[in-house]
A and B are shown apart, each in its own frame.
Chain A
């Protein structure tokens, strides 16, 4: 079964609009972490934001916020006031406590295109 599901292959938004990128996850571990990464066309993976399963508040980092709904097992990334430079592929990833120290499990990604 897929652990991380990103159902939107592509999203299109205009500058200054907000956009939500969906991510659902599947785990039976009580302790886990959720990450979002941005991958521009140049190929590097840029860490954006982290949410822990026990965190009481939704994570925020500048224009990025994470809409964490634990009961629904969703961790959607919200980008406010989109910019042209936000055009990239976005990956949701998870680490479970029993996998601590090993790899992240990645979703298939969502391509975001921001137009002027």
Chain B
């Protein structure tokens, strides 16, 4: 069973505010990911990390930034929130298996639902 946590679960905030979405995992996984999901739609990757001090942008362009200073922690920051950022943000992690390959299972946190007014 995966142990990956996200806070807050729900956030309503005004335009222009800086926000940080927290994600932590206790499994020692080296890889972590952030996905964005609009209601009833598919997930799109916005950031990922292969390990400490490694971060990459995903397929979907995002104005958010991430950091990976500790293995277990992968926060996402929006410097100035806008209504277009309203969405659900899902954090996931996975562990490298052997020499790598498609079998790595990603485990997801409960998500943060963000509403920017």
Contact = CB atoms under 8 A, between A and B. Distances in A.
The CB with the most chain A CB atoms within 10 A, among B44, B45, B101, B111, is that of: B101
B59 A103 contact: yes
Q: Give the size range of A's interface with the partner.
A: 20 to 34
Interface string B88-117: 101010101000111111111111010000
Contact of B105 (A31, A44, A50, A96): A50
A34 B50 CA distance: 21
Interface string B40-80: 11111100101000000011000000000000000000000
Given A101-B31, A101-B50, A106 B105 contact: no
Nearest to B56: A102
The CB with the most chain B CB atoms within 10 A, among A31, A89, A100, is that of: A100
A52 B103 contact: yes
Please name the 9 residue pairs, one residue from A and one from B, whose CB atoms are nearest each other, closest first.
A33-B102, A45-B108, A103-B45, A43-B111, A106-B42, A95-B102, A44-B110, A100-B100, A106-B43
Interface of A: 31-33, 35, 37, 42-47, 50, 52-53, 89, 91, 95-97, 100-104, 106-109, 111
